[in-house]
């Protein structure tokens, strides 16, 4: 069964192929849900938190459950929404500096998976190449 979001952006910012089968790629990306990393940008310490959601009824997104990740439940294609929240860790607490939202479409191509990335909005912050790097570095 396909899980497609009917309002997926027509313009895609980046397309690439992941060298893993479809179900393995979906599980790999689902594993970055609620992942937090800390990095230094300039003189600031920044905490980056990711949230991964899956298309549920062609019009909205919901949580990824273990039932959804079972082989054979989703086939052909799936749309995901990934939110990346960046918080600057300053003396007074956490200050939000960016909240970027990306739409991903995973398409089954047998031994590999094609991934299309589209960013919501045009603001500052991360771009599609940064999202690709987050995906490729997720297992590290």
Complete DSSP assignment for 21-52: -HHHHHHHHHTTTT-EEEEEETTEEEEEEEEE
Domain ranges of the chain: 14-136
Gap between the Cα atoms of 80 and 112, Å rounded: 17
Q: In this structure, what token pair is assigned to residue 3?
A: 């899980």
Cβ distance 23 to 71 under 8 Å?
Answer: yes
Q: Please state the rounded mean pLDDT for residues 38-54.
A: 88
Higher per-residue confidence, 38 vs 122:
38
Average pLDDT, the chain: 89
pLDDT tens string 75-93: 899 999 999 998 988 888 8
Q: Please state the rounded mean pLDDT for residues 49-61.
A: 92
pLDDT tens string 56-65: 888 899 999 9
């Amino acid at each position: 069964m396909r899980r497609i979001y009917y309002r997926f952006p027509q313009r895609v910012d980046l397309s690439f192929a992941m060298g893993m089968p479809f179900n393995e790629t979906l599980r790999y990306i689902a594993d970055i849900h609620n992942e937090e990393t800390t990095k230094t940008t300039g003189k600031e310490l920044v905490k980056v938190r990711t949230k991964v959601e899956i298309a549920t009824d062609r019009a909205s997104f919901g949580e990824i459950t273990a039932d959804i990740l079972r082989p054979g439940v989703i086939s052909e294609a799936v749309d995901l929404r990934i939110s990346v929240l960046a918080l600057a860790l300053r003396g007074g607490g956490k200050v939000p500096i960016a909240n970027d939202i990306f739409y991903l479409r995973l398409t089954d191509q047998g031994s590999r998976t094609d991934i299309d990335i589209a960013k919501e909005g045009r603001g500052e912050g991360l771009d599609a190449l940064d999202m690709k790097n987050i995906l490729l570095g997720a297992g590290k």
